[in-house]
Amino acid sequence: MALVNEHFLKLPNNYFFSDLEKKVNSFKVTHPKADLIRLGTGDVTLPLPQACIEAMHRAVDELGHESTFRGYGPEAGYPFLIDAIIKHDYAPRGVHLEPGEIFVSDGSKSDTGNIGDILRHDNSIGVTDPIYPVYIDTNVACGRAGELQADGKWSNVVYMPCLPENNFIPELPGQRIDIIYLCYPNNPTGTVLSKAELRKWVNYALENDTLLIFDGAYEAYIQHSDIPHSIYEIKGARKVAIEMRSFSKTAGFTGVRCGYTVIPKELSGGTLAGKRIPLTPLWRRHQETKFNGTSYITQRGAEAIYTPEGKEQVKAHIQYYMHNAHIMKEALASIGLKAAGGEDAPYLWVKAPGGLSSWKFFEKLLYEAQVVTTPGVGFGPSGEGYLRLTAFGKKERIQEAMQRLCQCL
């Protein structure tokens, strides 16, 4: 008999967003005529930028001819995309990267989950709370998170609450932690870190020999010029941080799947014997073993994001969604609801009125306003009493949703 990984049995039966979708589908069965407006799961609604579509069509045509056909590609990504990433995402911000430090993937979700494969199972971990569930679930699955306690926290995880009292900006932990996950602009709260705040985390990591896993999936939504887009804008970060990016929300690639991870050559981990091991070659070996690379067609589409036409089209999409966020934030404020985020991120973090729990608030809006949201408690204990709203919808539907919500409350 093959034995299973019993740590997987500690996970809830369903991934949070899958469970949420089941509740929505159940409502649709009992209310078949309901006109639901979805402000819950963070999926985009605008089509792919035209520049990406045209580039992908050309790539398909190339694969249809013997002279330009391509089979297996490099596991870390084609040079044309890696060079574009360096030139457009990092060089303008004064960040120097080498091609061998960038690994193209099928999105940051996979990489944030798989990065733990090259790290020992008994490392201590710290997370901001609330947090994207993947960070916790993948550590539970390998045994790193410990046991689930009555308060909803895992025994081996250090939680750093993000609450109104600290403006949803986590405080540095009072102890040494091996691995800390940071996501900014933040999912789910929509908040950002200033350069000064981010520098505190880099300095903490340098002083404590801590690895920072920095998820920058929403950096393209930053509107204020003084907010850092990359952790490598902070001096010393190359020695302590892995950065992950995604094209999913930047260019509507949620269904296409493409992102990348940056692991600087200076970054290292340790062995029990005290030897320092560079993480870049470890991750390269991991990808060579478990990943066959992102498709050529997809990478040509991603490359097109960086063309003049692609940049303009992506900018237009982002401004569209951020205008939606502005509409939502103004509507919520008009009825006295407090909401964080919505200024440098497509998410709004809304406090439930009257002491309602997250799920009660979710159900109230679902049944009375026919608006789908995301209960904050699904992102961690500090999310109780909140909802996450997303701006990834059509403007007219966003306006309709806000009218319904205001009437309902």
Asked if residue 14 has pLDDT above 80, the reply is no
State pLDDT tens for residues 285-319: 999 999 999 999 999 999 999 999 999 999 999 99
Q: Record the pTM.
A: 0.96
The segment(s) of the chain belonging to CATH 3.90.1150.10 are: 13-47+311-408
Please enumerate in sequence order all residues whose Cβ is within 8 A of that of 183, keeping only pairs 6 or more positions apart, or say none.
128, 131, 132, 135, 214, 215, 216, 217
Q: Are 387 and 405 within 8 A, CB to CB? A: no
DSSP string, 160-226: EE--GGGTT-PPPPSS--SEEEEESS-TTT-----HHHHHHHHHHHHHHTPEEEEE-TTGGG---TT
State pLDDT tens for residues 175-204: 999 999 999 999 999 999 999 999 999 999
State pLDDT tens for residues 27-79: 999 999 999 999 987 899 999 999 999 999 999 999 999 999 999 999 999 99
Q: What pLDDT does residue 115 have?
A: 97
CATH no. for 54-308: 3.40.640.10
CATH no. for 13-47+311-408: 3.90.1150.10
Q: What pLDDT does residue 124 have?
A: 97
